[in-house]
Amino acid sequence: MQRLKTRLLTLAYFISFVSASFLFAVPVKADQLTSRKLEIQSAQPGSAGQNIWHEFTFNVAQATSIGSMEFTYCTAPLGTCTSPTGLDFVGGGVTLGTTSTDQTINAILPSNTYALGTGANIPTTNRVRIQSSAANTISVAQTVKIRFGAIENPTTTTPTSNTFFVRIVTYNTTSYGTAIDDGAVASAIVPLLTVSARVQEVLHFCVDNATTAGGILAATALGTDCSNYVTSYAVAGNSVDLGVADNNTTGAVSPDTEGNDADGVFMVRSNALNGVIVGYRAVQQTGTNYTGSLRVVGSTCTTTGTGKNDTNDAGNRVSTDRCFNSATTKTALTASLEQFGMTGRFINRTSSTVPTTNLTLTTDYDSTSTVGYAWVQDGTFTSVATSVPSSDKVVDDEAVVLKFAAVASLTTPPGQYTAQSDFIAVPTY
């Protein structure tokens, strides 16, 4: 009986010894990295030449030295590591710079900078190893940042299989010796989210008369659009009455108190990318010859001789019929020399919004430098203002004030003379 007890005690001691020996023979598991994350420059699927960066940030769990690190890309955080579809650090390449943009310990560049592994430790399809010439000391909870460049992402965007994981391991030697800390981070590849909207073509265009008091509208805000301008500044009707046209160059010139004291005005707004042109066609009235001139409606006008009723041909001018002569190019008024025409007085850009400054008057209708008048009576479309030459061609609430004038000769027959203009805006989108 005593022998049996002795044997049992001996066996128990042996088992305890073996168990204890086995326990201490198992390598101690590395601690886990904390506050670990992966920020990627783009989550778009990889493609040739994508060239983006992946930046890893983590805190160490224990005071130690780090001589090398390993980053392995897998489709799962644990277990067998399968490389994510489309990832290839060998064919696609990967880089690690030696500046504080690419690597830091505790927010500063380490004294011994890390570089891509060499020899058996060069990048593989899904693993990147880095090492320094000498290990860097690091304290508990200090932060490590490593950024790799020239990366082409995995290519899978299918939900549930588009996530990839990177297993991180730090080592205490420069040759990937004993693991210190480890941990995994995750990221995902997703398609672009495209947001679209359509901007419609815009054209606000209005033509009317306006009480301008000889130019007061140059400094008057016309409001936010055509409706405000027409409501606030247009006078009765939509005509410009020049009053009495005599042989004086200061006689029938708008705005004239003998008439309705108004100028003509048009305002335009357009988002046309290639600009907008505003011009007119002289309306052809009843009568014979020169039907688009300032004329007595229904009358017959003289056509004898080339250039009749044309101030550009003084030798053939007719001042005895009931059609006013007009110049097709800007021409100054001369006393007792029959002429009718129109010019741009100025462009009003004092809208209560923020108007553009892209509209300009064309040469023959620009009186801001030299005063002269023109009128194309044959119905040909004639440009008065345009934004086409401007580098920024869109137009917002720019208003052109139009000035009209008529000088009669001593032989111009009496009567009620009328001209009509059909203004047209032509935006090119």
Write down the mean pLDDT value for the chain. 89
Rounded Cα distance between 157 and 121, Å, is 30
Rounded Cα distance between 150 and 339, Å, is 75
Rounded Cα distance between 393 and 67, Å, is 62
Compute CA 173 distance to the chain's CA centroid, rounded to the nearest angstrom: 53
Strand pairing report for 360-361 and 382-386: antiparallel
Q: Which of 37-46, 181-190, 273-282, 310-319 has the lowest mean pLDDT?
A: 310-319
Which residues, at least 6 apart from 340, have a Cβ–Cβ distance to it below 8 Å?
Answer: 293, 294, 324, 325, 326, 373, 375, 404, 405, 406, 407, 419
Confidence band, pLDDT 50/70/90 cuts, at residue 237: confident
pLDDT value at position 262? 92
Q: Which of 182-191, 320-329, 349-358, 395-404 has the lowest mean pLDDT?
A: 349-358
Which amino acid is it at 238? N
CATH architecture group of domain 31-188:
Sandwich (2.60)
Rounded Cα distance between 405 and 415, Å, is 17
pLDDT, tens digit, 9 for 90 and up, residues 277-327: 999 999 999 999 999 999 999 999 988 665 677 777 767 788 999 999 999
Confidence band, pLDDT 50/70/90 cuts, at residue 7: very low
pLDDT, tens digit, 9 for 90 and up, residues 54-67: 999 999 999 999 99
Rounded Cα distance between 59 and 183, Å, is 10
Q: For the sheet containing 179-188, what is the strand order?
A: 31-32, 179-188, 163-171, 64-74, 127-138, 114-116
Rounded Cα distance between 423 and 399, Å, is 13
- Residues forming a β-bridge with 82: none
pLDDT, tens digit, 9 for 90 and up, residues 70-111: 999 999 999 999 999 999 999 888 999 999 999 999 999 999
Return the domain boundaries, the chain: 31-188, 203-427
CA-wise closest residue to 72 among 164, 151, 140, 155:
164
Residue showing tokens 């066996």: 11
The CA angle 44-45-51, to the nearest 5 degrees, is 80
C-alpha atoms less than 13 angstroms from C-alpha of 243 in its C-beta half-sphere: 17
pLDDT value at position 116? 98
pLDDT, tens digit, 9 for 90 and up, residues 12-24: 433 343 333 333 3
pLDDT value at position 215? 60
Whole-number percent of the chain with pLDDT over 90: 78
Confidence band, pLDDT 50/70/90 cuts, at residue 353: confident
Whether omega before 255 lies within 30 degrees of 0, making that bond cis, reads yes
Token digits for 216?
């007061």
Q: Is the pLDDT of residue 29 over 60?
A: no
For residues 149-170, give the mean pLDDT. Answer: 96
> Whole-model pTM?
0.72
Torsion on CA atoms 89, 92, 96, 101, rounded to nearest 10: -120
